[in-house]
Amino acid sequence: MSEEAGVAALTIEDSQSSMGSKADPEAKKAAKAAEKAAKEAAKAERAAQRGVKAAIMTQPDPEDPLKDRYGDSPRVQSREQSGRVWTQVEALSKELSEQTVLVRARIHNTRGKGKSAFLVLRQRTATVQAILFADDVTVSKGMVKYATQISKESIVDVEGIVKVPENPIEGCSQKDVELKVTGIRAVSRAAVLPFELVDAARSEEEVKAAAERGEILATVGQDLRLDNRFLDLRTPANQAIFKVQSAVCQIFKNTLLAEGFQEIHTPKLIAGASEGGAAVFRLDYMGTPACLAQSPQLYKQMAICADFDRVFEVGPVFRAENSYTHRHLCEFMGLDLEMAIHEHYFEVLDVIEKLFGAIFDGLATTYAKELAVIAQQYPFEVPTFKPLRLTFPEGIALLQQGGYPDVDPMGDLNTELERALGRIVKEKYGTDFFVLHRYPSAVRPFYTMPCVDDPAYSNSYDVFIRGEEIISGAQRIHEADFLTQRATECGIPLDTIQSYIDSFKFGAPPHGGAGVGLERVVMLYCGLNNIRKTSMFPRDPKRLTP
């Protein structure tokens, strides 16, 4: 044996013996360090192996005979159109029993154990159960493992056979069917969620019932929801809320088009405050002071002066009100209408009542399914529609008789008084919808026409649902001199509205109109407690993102 080989062959004990007792502490220390290093290396190797295994599960095991049935899809980059047909989750029914379908949906929930996995697939408001059982014929163990490791909210393509279960699937909207999975591919994987969609979709009643049983269920606060609104909007209730909002818009348009109205689009950058007052967002417009329009009011009237006769607009409205309440926003969608009248502002009220009759009826029938989805998380009763008109003094009298003797007969109604009047009207007249008209002139905009019999009151009106105002409108002043007088009395600089006043100098039809807050209509119809629930990306005094 060579000298080098002999040295290499020495054990720790040999070394210790040859070096003597003086080297023992150093040798022991070195041995411990080597042992520790070996353990750390083994730990790192195990971690690396875990990483490799996790990475492998984005694609099938190469040795799996069923490897062509699962694995992440290639990035969708418009390579080709394959001719494949995707079935909507809401369309899955008993009529498709034993048929093979392809579904693209999100992973709502996953439960896996051994050779089986149960997935809940969600597509907007519809959910269906998907099942995998490893039999090595249509589903392998690797396929089950792959499916259970796909994160919640990931988008997947699932191929499967429609089956009719022995018992209804109570946790899903498609209760009468389930999918027996034959293939699954992740299209887009979701990162770690800031909150669980299941928690965000819980009703208060569910949380309270659990608390009574001694269980604590997680909930998601408003700020966290709004900070991650793009995620919050995925809940079934939110999906349904914005379908209802879209429906209100469409019914508004279709009803008015049928009544001879024409849609218009007006500027949102204006030189002066469209409603008067200081609640405007001011800005510099190429060196000229300007602001964002509080409403399309002035331009709607100009359109009437231009012989458009009947017009409506759906567009954003801006209010710089520092009101952090349940029903105020700094930006919302306005549904505005304006029309020429022949004799009386009741002609406008006739159209408004017809419009809301169509909205109430359309939502209760065509969108009954969406209303039911909303009610699962936010229980409510569909409001009652019976047209009712009360004068402002009659409303004041009802409040005084109903326990509010100190209400100001010439002042505007605050939120508490509006709600109280709504309760009284519901009890006495059996309706959630009513019109209050002939408001005091002092609480209406400068362009509102005073009553002919008493100028202290005006030809104006508000419309209420569930005791909260959703519409403010009036007959407008259509004479330039009278309009100038009223603007001066209200302290509005004439130079900022001169073009508006000028539009009435060349013959203007008597006219009136109204403005409707879209978000507020949906909030009140659905009995929701906060307008932020009906604004897709709400803007209030404390929120400018996302």
Of 418, 469, 476, 511, the active-site residue reads 469
Q: For residue 20, give both structure tokens.
A: 């003597």
Q: Is 319 a catalytic residue?
A: yes
Of 259, 321, 347, 468, the active-site residue reads 321
- Terminal C-alpha separation, the chain: 77
| DSSP structure string for 370-412 | HHHHHHHHS--PPPP----EEEHHHHHHHHHHTT-TT--TTS-
Of 229, 234, 326, 328, the active-site residue reads 328
Q: How far apart are CA 416 and CA 33, in angstroms?
A: 76
Q: Is 327 a catalytic residue?
A: yes
Of 106, 225, 327, 478, the active-site residue reads 327
Q: Quick one: which of 131, 186, 187, 133 has its CA closest to 162?
A: 131
174 burial type by CB count under 10 A (0-12 exposed, 13-18 middle, 19+ buried): buried
Q: How many CB atoms lie within 10 A of CB 102?
A: 13
Q: Is 520 a catalytic residue?
A: yes
Q: How far apart are CA 504 and CA 477, in angstroms?
A: 9
In sequence order, the β-bridge partners of residue 122 are 106, 127
Q: How many C-alpha atoms does 267 have within 13 Å on its Cβ side?
A: 12
Q: How far apart are CA 388 and CA 352, in angstroms?
A: 12
Of 520, 532, 535, 543, the active-site residue reads 520
98 burial type by CB count under 10 A (0-12 exposed, 13-18 middle, 19+ buried): exposed
Strands 126-133 and 178-188, by their bridges, are: parallel
In sequence order, the β-bridge partners of residue 112 are 117
DSSP summary character for residue 287: T
Q: Is 4 a catalytic residue?
A: no
Of 124, 319, 532, 543, the active-site residue reads 319
Q: Is the CA virtual torsion 25, 28, 34, 35 positive or negative? A: negative
Residue matched to tokens 């939110």: 238
- Tell me if residue 89 falls in helix, strand or coil: helix
| DSSP structure string for 297-359 | HHHHHHHHHTT--EEEEEEEEE------SSS--SEEEEEEEEEE-SS-THHHHHHHHHHHHHH
Of 472, 476, 503, 511, the active-site residue reads 472
Q: Is 274 a catalytic residue?
A: no
* Positions marked active-site: 319, 321, 327-328, 469, 472, 520
